[in-house]
């Protein structure tokens, strides 16, 4: 027959007691972080929560093994030679450990905890929305500023271009004015020359008229020698007039 020292319950009990102490310690830290941190973004809380759930799962497995060992002993009481008091003590230990496990497990999913988790998620969501809105507003402000600056530079460029065009037109007008003034001077100079030429022609015509009249009278009263002399003088006079007109 096996003695109680060979009973696997002794080893399982030590492991369960250590696991329960660890779970309770982690649960206290979890509760502290739950109240002091924003659970939706706290890495400490998330890591603690994950580790606590893992320990609870491990404890649940250990409790199942303890329960199986108690059942095995209960089914083979003659083999293990346990009294009713010893069996009851084991069952009480199991019940107490299961209660501790259930207490912590229930705490993780309580309404108060869910409300805190929801509130933290809501705060993060609202903050992210506010930050996104502020970022969008800053971006719009920057884009508006950049657009206004672009328009200002474009307006400045257009004004400079218009000023250059006006200066070019002004210079062109000045050049046209100078050309017109020069042309007008040339026209006036040509007009003066024409007037002088007309005056010279009129004078010469008057002289020719006098000469013609004189010759007419001479032809009536003079001989051929005088006529030839007068004709030569007339030819010479015409040549002189031609030379004057072409100089």
Query: Measuring CA to CA, which residue among 86, 59, 60 is closest to residue 73?
Result: 86
pLDDT of residue 36: 94
Examine residue 17 and state whether it is found in any structural domain, yes or no. yes
Please give the chain's pLDDT, 247 residues, in tens.
334 445 678 788 889 999 999 999 999 999 999 999 999 999 999 999 999 999 999 999 999 989 988 888 888 887 878 888 999 999 999 999 999 999 999 999 999 999 999 999 999 999 999 999 999 889 988 988 888 988 989 898 988 888 888 888 888 888 888 887 888 888 888 888 888 878 877 877 777 777 677 666 656 655 666 667 767 777 777 787 777 767 6
In a domain, 32, yes or no: yes
Give residue for tokens 């207490």. Answer: 103
Domain that includes residue 99, residue range: 4-109
> Is residue 189 in some structural domain?
no
What is the model's pLDDT at position 215? Answer: 62
Domain membership flag for residue 140: no
Domain count, the chain: 1
The domain that holds 52 is classified in CATH as 1.20.58.90
């Amino acid at each position: 027959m096996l003695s109680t020292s060979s009973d696997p319950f002794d080893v399982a009990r030590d492991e369960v007691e250590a696991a329960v102490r660890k779970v309770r310690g982690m649960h206290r830290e979890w509760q502290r972080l739950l109240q002091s941190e924003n659970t939706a973004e706290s890495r400490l809380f998330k890591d603690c929560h994950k580790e606590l759930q893992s320990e609870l799962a491990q404890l649940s497995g250990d409790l199942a093994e303890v329960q199986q060992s108690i059942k095995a002993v209960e089914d083979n009481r003659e083999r293990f030679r346990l009294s009713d008091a010893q069996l009851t003590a084991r069952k009480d230990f199991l019940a107490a450990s299961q209660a501790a496990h259930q207490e912590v497990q229930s705490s993780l999913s309580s309404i108060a905890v869910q409300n805190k988790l929801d509130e933290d998620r809501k705060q993060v969501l609202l903050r992210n929305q506010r930050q996104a809105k502020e970022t969008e507003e800053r971006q719009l402000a920057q884009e508006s500023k950049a657009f206004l600056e672009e328009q200002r530079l474009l307006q400045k460029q257009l004004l400079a271009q218009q000023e250059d065009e006006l200066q070019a037109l002004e210079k062109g007008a000045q050049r046209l004015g100078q050309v017109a003034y020069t042309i007008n001077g040339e026209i006036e100079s040509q007009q003066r020359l024409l007037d002088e030429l007309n005056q010279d022609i009129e004078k010469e015509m008057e002289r020719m008229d006098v000469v013609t009249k004189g010759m007419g009278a001479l032809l009536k009263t003079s001989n051929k020698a005088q006529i030839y002399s007068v004709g030569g003088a007339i030819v010479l006079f015409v040549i002189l007039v031609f030379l004057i007109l072409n100089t």
